[in-house]
């Protein structure tokens, strides 16, 4: 076959479908393996059978010799063992002295013919022609060789083994076993395997075709789905009937199809999202500007007051009776400015990531009660209630008391600020899931859902008017949030039936809670 012909066949094979390729490859491999098996059996079966026959016969002879040394005490014992040996090994056995003279050979006559002719001929051949005689006599070796009957031309296996007593050959065991069954078995086996080979080739051809279709059918479907995906049609999914490699490939294609579909959908919505992000950035920038405006407003008023009252004192237009009042106004406005600056510095420190708490173990109830009493005295127009579980009075938590006092103070200030003149404010201390649950609820208007989402953010205020009555710069809850985060607290703000409630948690010290 020329090189051009081979290239042509190769091109034809490449152009065929996967079913044809799988069928050809599978059939070729199976026929190749069967052919190898048949050749190996034809070449080596006879040799293997002969070696096994030789090995087993020598092993049986050695076993006979062991019995001879240990158990045989009389001719009757020997005859019995010899008879059993011949029956078990399909052979003839003879006992010779070291000169080759027969001491025992069981006679069997059939139709006047002596069946011992084969062993007699083998003994004569061994004594006259085989060099192994000296190996047996001098070296005390067990030898084996082939002997072909000159009369019937049949092949026989001969094993000769010395019986050594006191380092001297006492007797010789001479065993002959016919190999005619081997020749017959080899012939029958070859014919049998030829028929088997033809049958297997036919079956293999059918199975290869079925196998090729089984493998190629889902692959063809996958290919069609992939073609649709290439055309940006993601409506068709691959059918997953098995969970093998092809099934996994189908699931991967389905997953890829879904992901691509989602990605395309997301790309279509990219402009909307980008617009939303820009709008969000604008809102954030507006919040920053509002904060700067608020800080400027909060600083402008006290600075103006301080400046005006200080100039009045300097110019001497203040009576002695009003001097103390002027000084009180200056000090009060200075305190407000100082508080604003401190809040800004606190928030900056808390958000820097380097702020360190000063934790200690203390009784939370005592801290809340102290703050509660101070507010009751200072705001007697409000109905402030402290509701707690008596069992929690002796329990402790770990945290920074100064910062937690700042949290409670900020939350109570907000509750008072946004409640009606004679409004109700409730402080709750409970235990839920081995944690302190602290809530501060005030009467008043609910907070819009949009404001609830942003209320913890810095710069943000629910009251956009920044009127003097409500005050604040939108930093209080941001400070609260950062302090609670440092304590690992869970916190939330929500509307209730009477107004607004802020809740946060703190751990209960385990040793106290047992």
Residue at which a domain ends, from 320, 351, 382: 351
Give the 3-state secondary structure of 362-412: EEHHHHHHHHHHHHHHHCCCCEEEEEECHHHCCCEEEECHHHHHHHHHHHH
Q: Does a structural domain hold residue 219?
A: no
**100 shares its domain with 172:** yes
How many folded domains does the chain comprise? Answer: 4
Whether 433 and 468 share a structural domain = yes
Classify strands 424-432 and 383-388 as parallel, antiparallel or unpaired. Answer: parallel
21 domain residue, yes or no:
no
Q: CA quadruple 397, 400, 405, 410: dihedral positive or negative? A: negative
Judge whether 72 lies within some domain.
no
292 and 261: one domain?
no
**How long is the chain?**
514
Query: Residue 341 maps to which CATH number?
Result: 1.10.287.130
Domain match, 158 and 279 both: no
Q: How far apart are CA 451 and CA 467, in angstroms?
A: 18
Q: What is the pLDDT of residue 303?
A: 84
Measure Cα distances from 52 to 78, 106, 208 in Å: 27, 26, 37
Question: Do residues 347 and 478 touch, judged by C-beta distance below 8 A?
Answer: yes
Q: Give the DSSP H/E element, type plus range, for residue 302.
A: helix 270-315
Among the candidates 289, 317, 351, a domain finishes at: 351
444 and 499 share one domain: yes
Nearest CA to 447 among 456, 439, 438? 456
| Domain span including residue 171 | 88-106+113-178
Which of 471, 348, 349, 480 minimizes the C-alpha distance to 408?
Answer: 480
Distance between CA atoms of residues 18 and 213, nearest Å: 9
Report yes or no on 130 lying in a domain: yes
pLDDT at 249: 74
What is the spatial distance between Cα 496 and Cα 446, in angstroms, rounded to a whole number? 8
What's the CATH number where 130 sits? 3.30.450.20
pLDDT of residue 404: 95
User: Do 333 and 294 share a structural domain?
Assistant: yes
Short-list 54, 118, 123, CA closest to 89: 54
Q: Which helix (H) or strand (E) holds 93?
A: strand 91-97
The β-bridge partners of 399 are 360
The DSSP 8-state label assigned to residue 509 in this structure reads P
Q: Is residue 239 part of a domain?
A: yes
If asked whether residues 439 and 374 sit together in one domain, one would say yes
Q: What is the pLDDT of residue 184?
A: 64
Task: Identify the DSSP state of 498.
Answer: S
Low-confidence ranges of the chain (pLDDT < 50): 110-114, 465-466, 468, 514
CA distance 334 to 140: 126
CA angle (487 as vertex; 484, 489 as ends), nearest 5? 60
* 464 part of a folded domain: yes
Beta bridge partners of 25: none
Task: Annotate 136-161 with b (16+ C-beta within 10 A) or e (fewer).
Answer: beeeeebbbbebebeeeeeebbbbbb
> How are strands ordered across the β-sheet holding 155-165?
102-105, 91-97, 168-178, 155-165, 143-148
Question: Where among 351, 383, 401 does a domain terminate?
Answer: 351
CA distances to 173, 426, 471 from 340, rounded to whole Å, are 121, 27, 11
Evaluate whether 447 touches 495 at the Cβ level (below 8 Å): yes
Instruction: Write phi, then psi, for 448 (nearest 5 degrees).
Output: -60, 150
Over the stretch 370-400, which tens digit does the pLDDT of each residue have? Answer: 999 999 888 888 999 999 988 899 899 999 9
How many Å apart are CA 88 and CA 70, to the nearest integer? Answer: 20
Q: Is residue 186 part of a domain?
A: no
Distance (Å, rounded) from C-alpha 181 to C-alpha 49? 11
278 and 333 within one domain:
yes
Distance of CA 507 to the CA centre of its chain: 35
In a domain, 52, yes or no: no
438 near 503, Cβ under 8 Å? yes
Give residue 363's pLDDT: 93
Q: What is the CATH number of the domain that holds 369?
A: 3.30.565.10
Question: Do 316 and 378 lie in a common domain?
Answer: no
Same domain as 490, residue 395 = yes
Tell me 465's DSSP state: T
Torsional sign, CA 394, 398, 403, 409: negative
- Name the β-bridge partners of 429: 388, 438
Same domain, 260 and 237: yes
Q: Do 329 and 366 lie in a common domain?
A: no
């Amino acid at each position: 076959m020329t090189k051009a012909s081979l290239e042509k066949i190769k091109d034809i094979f490449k152009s065929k479908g996967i079913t044809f390729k799988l069928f050809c490859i599978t059939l070729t491999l199976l026929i190749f393996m069967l052919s190898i098996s048949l050749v190996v059996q034809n070449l080596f079966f006879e040799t293997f059978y002969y070696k096994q026959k030789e090995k087993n016969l020598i092993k049986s002879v050695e076993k006979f010799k062991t019995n001879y040394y240990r158990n045989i005490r009389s001719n009757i014992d020997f005859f019995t063992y010899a008879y059993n040996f011949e029956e078990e090994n399909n052979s003839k056995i003879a006992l010779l002295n070291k000169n080759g003279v027969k001491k025992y050979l069981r006679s069997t006559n059939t139709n006047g013919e002596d069946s011992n002719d084969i062993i007699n001929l083998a003994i004569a051949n061994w004594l006259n022609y085989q060099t192994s005689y000296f190996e047996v006599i001098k070296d005390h070796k067990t030898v084996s060789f082939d002997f072909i009957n000159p009369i019937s031309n049949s092949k026989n296996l001969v094993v000769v083994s010395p019986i050594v007593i006191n380092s001297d050959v006492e007797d010789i065991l001479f065993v002959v076993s016919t190999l005619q069954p081997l020749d017959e078995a080899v012939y029958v086996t070859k014919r049998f395997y030829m028929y088997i080979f033809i049958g297997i080739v036919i079956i293999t051809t059918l199975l290869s075709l079925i196998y090729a279709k089984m493998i190629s059918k889902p692959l063809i479907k996958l290919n069609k789905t992939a073609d649709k995906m290439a055309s940006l049609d993601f409506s068709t999914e691959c059918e997953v009937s098995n969970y093998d490699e092809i099934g996994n490939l189908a699931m991967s294609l389905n997953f890829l199809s879904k992901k691509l579909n989602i990605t395309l959908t997301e790309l279509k919505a990219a402009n909307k999202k980008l617009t939303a992000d820009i709008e969000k950035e604008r809102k954030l920038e507006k919040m920053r500007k509002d904060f700067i405006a608020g800080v400027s407003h909060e600083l402008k008023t006290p600075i103006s007051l301080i400046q005006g009252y200080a100039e009045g004192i300097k110019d001497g237009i203040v009576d002695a009776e009003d001097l103390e009042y002027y000084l009180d106004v200056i000090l009060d406005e200075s305190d407000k400015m100082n508080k604003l600056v401190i809040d800004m510095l606190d928030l900056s420190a808390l958000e820097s990531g380097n702020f360190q708490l000063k934790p200690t173990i203390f009784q939370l109830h005592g801290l809340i009660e102290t703050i509660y009493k101070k507010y009751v005295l200072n705001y007697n127009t409000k109905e402030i209630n402290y509701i707690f579980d008596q069992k929690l009075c002796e329990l402790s938590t770990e945290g920074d008391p100064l910062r937690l006092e700042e949290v409670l103070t900020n939350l109570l200030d907000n509750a008072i600020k946004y409640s009606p003149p004679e409004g109700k404010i409730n402080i709750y201390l409970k235990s839920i899931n081995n944690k302190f649950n602290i809530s501060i609820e005030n009467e008043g208007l609910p907070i819009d859902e949009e404001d609830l989402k942003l209320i913890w953010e810095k710069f943000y205020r629910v009251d956009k008017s920044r009127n003097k009555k409500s005050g604040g710069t939108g930093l209080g809850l941001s400070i609260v949030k950062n302090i609670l985060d440092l304590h690992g607290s869970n916190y939330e703000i929500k509307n209730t039936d009477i107004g607004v409630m802020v809740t946060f948690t703190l751990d209960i010290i385990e040793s106290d809670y047992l």
